[in-house]
Structure 1
Amino acid sequence: MISNANEDSNPGEETSMNYTIDAIAKELGLSKTTVSRAISGKGRISESTRQRVADFIKEINYMPSAVARSLAASKTFNIGLIFPQDSTLDEMPYFQDVMVGVCEAAMDHDYDVLNILADNNDIHSLDRAITNKKIDGLIVSRCIKDSRVIEYLKDKELPYVVLGNPLEEGILYVDNDNKTAARRMMEALIDQHMKKFALIGGNESFFVTQSRLEGYLEGLNKRGIDVNENLIFLNAHRGERLKSIVSTILENEVDCIVCMDDVLCNNTLLFLQTSGVSVPKDVKLVSYYDSKLLLNHTPSITSLYFDSKYLGAQGVDVLMRKIDGKVAQSRILTDFNLQMRESTR
């Protein structure tokens, strides 16, 4: 055995600090290539040799360095998580939860996460990470129509998974069942004797906007409520438009305002309160997405809860299957909760 440099170590406490693949190869009388194959689990060597190496590295508590591990496995052991550069501060709770889920899941696979800023305006960081071979795969955190990021990735051999359904064959994705959740919310509200609704939605280029719209319409139809197209407002995220929309809705004396996300709901509630409109006495209010942004409001807001951390973690699970050469399939997550609170009572 090669002696440990630490003379003060107790017998039996020898560590791998001074061991390299070269040193292990010499100790066992094997080639460096054979040892690398045994450690990585790849390459054609006998099972007895593989076991011999495994027993030895366990005995010395050997842990390969990140560089050695990467070289042995022909991997970087990094995945990229793409965030849009044009995301707003209000969107951070969602992206933060996704990031935590991705990082925790990646850790379970002994992978690190490289955050990358890229969107339709700029993909230089993404191109650099791929060109310099810094990552083994990617998670795309936002799914939009005509995505420059996704179009770029289609031409690359690198595995990637989109959070959100891009409605396109051949693209791996993980998404919440937004359509069913929105439908179930509408059915629950109608069952509470609400009949007249207005819908406020965000960017219609986001696929999630379309899914939630479909669920809204389906819920009304299933309960026999006529759809008033004049009370459906999309792209309400733009500038001062929301105030005008809410004013129009109030003039139509609806029972309930349905907002597609927490940001729109938060801003709608603030406008209602400053206008002297009482929620839920004068009008009910609902959000299709529950987050920390709505946490401390009075009244508390009826909303749909999705576990964004779990969404991110499932994205990693699908991606790792693809990276490891296993069968990888897209997933629709059906777990959600209807949070019925004060704003609809």
Structure 2
Amino acid sequence: MSEGSLLDNGSLSSQELSPSTSVKNIEDIARALGVSKSTVSRAISGKGRISPETRERIRSFIEQQGFQINRIAKGLAEARTYNIAVTMPSDTEVQEIPFFQTCLHAIAETLSRSEYDTVVAVTTEHDIASLKRLIRYRKVDGVIHTRPLTTDRSIEFLKEQSLPFVVIGSVADLSVVQVDSDHREACKNATLHLLRQDFSRQVLLAGNPHHQVNKDRYEGYRLALTEGGIKEVKEFFQVPTDLRQLPLQEGYPLVFWNATSKTVLEELIHHILPQGPQCIIGMDDVITAKALHILHRYKVRIPDDVAVVSFHDSTTMEQHLPPISAVHVEIQKLGSLAATLLIDMLEGRKIDAIHRLKADFVIRDSSRAVQKDSTVAMQPSNIGFFKGGLS
């Protein structure tokens, strides 16, 4: 009888197999022991007709190979990979955004405690090929999708595949399991903080209007303006041809979408400063950090000349001199909760679809009240930082 073959009673022969045998999946186990894949599956799952001796021999062999019965072997039987995909946008700015790094770390840490591994799928607004490959080749058991778009191909694809997934962010489909911070309320509070100081000459440097998080932040911003009696804003989706004719001095807040590159921000700030803005708001910490760098080069005094607020907090905002007032969200809690919810889904536990975490507006020195004559602040000749342009 060959090594590892079955006896007449269905049990394995008593001869030991070498632990050095290369075993990577259920098929390798079956081949090494000279049994069928279904026999191995029954031994691992504990279901089906199989002798106690055969079950014990198979399980012992798996353990000898370094597998863990409660994870790898069970995964083989249940066709699980114990891998979770996390989608990450491929924007060049992403590497500069601490949010994604912190969130990914929290996800991976939480998943690892349940013996799941993390696989990153890089996607764009128009290209989700990497995500499709992972799912079509059954390399992952579920997906955590970050930064949803107003029209999101990844979400539509995941719904079609009937694969468990959780979104970090807000989506209109309330059947989708989603975890987000209350951006609307926090950004509303941030804007009201400025309006209480009679800062109506506001400039909002916004990001991509197709990102749902930017839409949510903007809705909170507009709610505050309406509450403060400001019903009209001037929105621009590209740099205006004549930046000298902006109606900032008329009391209209200005909103510049897609103001993410240093070149665009440089041009906007260069023409906005002479018009005497009372405050500049960055839609996120990266935009705000770039704007602060330009303002510093113009020798702008914050908040004496211009108040600055960010709709997203980070250590960069906190450690800036002066510290920047910002909307603070619990990034680690977002990532950890998303991972926990996905594990619950995979284990068949019942969960709620909508989860909202509180976000806080943290007031720091960059937006504190400053006693000054607002009519003087509007005159470029009286703003020392703008004389002579960049230094």
TM-score under structure 1 normalisation?
0.78
> How do 1:190-339 and structure 2 match up within 5 A?
190-229=195-234, 231-238=254-261, 240-339=263-362
In structure 2, distance between residues paired with 1:90 and 1:344:
28
* Amino acid in the other structure paired with 2:135: I
* Alignment partner of 1:68 out of 64, 73, 85: 73
Shift of 1:123: 2.6
Give the direction of change, closer, same or farther, for the CA distance of 1:90–1:249 in structure 2 (3 Å limit).
farther
User: Is 1:188–2:193 an aligned residue pair?
Assistant: yes
- Rg larger in structure: 2
- Are the structure 2 counterparts of residues 329 and 139 from structure 1 closer, same or farther at C-alpha, using a change threshold of 3 Å? same
* Kept after mapping to 2: 8 A contact 1:259/1:288: yes
Matched residues in 2 for 1:334 and 1:72: separation?
Answer: 37
Q: Greater shift after overlay, 180-189 or 194-203?
A: 194-203
CA distance in 2, matches of 1:160, 1:250: 46
Q: Secondary structure at the match of 1:240?
A: helix
For residue 169 of structure 2, the aligned residue among 152, 164, 170 is 164
Task: Provide the C-alpha distance between the structure 1 equivalents of 2:48 and 2:358, rounded to a whole number of angstroms.
Answer: 44
The answer to whether the Cα contact below 8 Å between 1:84 and 1:117 also exists between their aligned partners in 2 is yes
Tell me the distance in 2 between the aligned counterparts of 1:33 and 1:270: 61
Return the alpha-carbon distance in structure 1 between the equivalents of residues 117 and 303 of structure 2: 46
Maintained 8 Å contact 1:260/1:288: yes
Distance, in Å, in 1 between the alignment partners of 2:171 and 2:96 is 20
RMSD: 3.3
**CA–CA distance in 2 between the matches of 1:251 and 1:44?**
80
User: Does the residue aligned with 1:167 lie in a helix, a strand or coil?
Assistant: coil
- Counterpart of 1:313 in structure 2: which amino acid? S
Distance between the aligned counterparts of 2:113 and 2:48, measured in 1? 27
CA distance in 2, matches of 1:194, 1:338: 17
Decide whether the 8 Å contact of 1:319 with 1:328 is kept in 2: no
Change in Cα spacing, 1:32 to 1:206, as seen in structure 2 (3 Å) is: closer
Moved more, 117-126 or 201-210: 117-126
Q: Structure 1 residues 37 and 295, CA, compared in 2 at 3 Å: closer, same or farther?
A: same
Question: Which deviates more, 85-94 or 270-279?
Answer: 85-94
Count of residues paired in the alignment: 310
Sequence identity, in percent?
Answer: 29
Q: Which of 285-294 and 164-173 deviates more?
A: 164-173
Q: CA deviation at 1:162?
A: 1.6
Q: Which residue of 2 aligns with 1:84?
A: 89
- 1:94 paired residue number: 99
Distance 1:178 1:284, change over 3 A: same
Verify the 8 A CA contact 2:44 2:69 in the aligned structure 1. Answer: no
Q: CA deviation digits over 1:289-336, x for unaligned, max 9? A: 011333432111111111212111111122222222233333343322
Q: CA distance change for structure 1 residues 120 and 305 in 2, over 3 Å: closer, same or farther? A: same
Q: Distance in 2 between matches of 1:103 and 1:111?
A: 8
- Unpaired segments of 5 or more residues in structure 2? 1-13, 17-28, 31-38, 235-251, 369-391
Deviation at 1:121, TM superposition (A): 4.2
Which one-letter code corresponds to 1:271 in the other structure? Answer: I
Distance in 1 (CA, whole Å) between partners of 2:91 and 2:256 is: 22
TM-score (norm 2): 0.70
State the alpha-carbon separation in 2 of the partners of residues 328 and 248 from structure 1: 51
CA contact (8 A) 1:118 1:125 kept: yes
Is the contact between residue 147 and residue 213 of structure 2 (CA under 8 Å) also seen in structure 1? no
Bigger mean CA deviation after superposition, 281-290 or 118-127: 118-127
1:288–1:303 Cα contact (<8 Å) kept: yes
Question: How far off its partner does 1:199 sit?
Answer: 1.4
For residues 334 and 48 of structure 2, the distance between their equivalents in structure 1, rounded to whole angstroms, comes to 38
- The equivalent residue for 1:16 is none
- d(CA) in 2 for partners of 1:272, 1:239: 12
Q: What is the distance in 1 between the residues matched to 2:140 and 2:75? A: 11
- Partner of 2:321, secondary structure, is coil
Q: Which runs of 5+ in 1 are unaligned?
A: 5-20, 23-30
1:200-236: CA deviation from partner (whole Å, max 9, x where unpaired): 1111011111111110111122233454335122111
Moved more, 157-166 or 279-288: 157-166
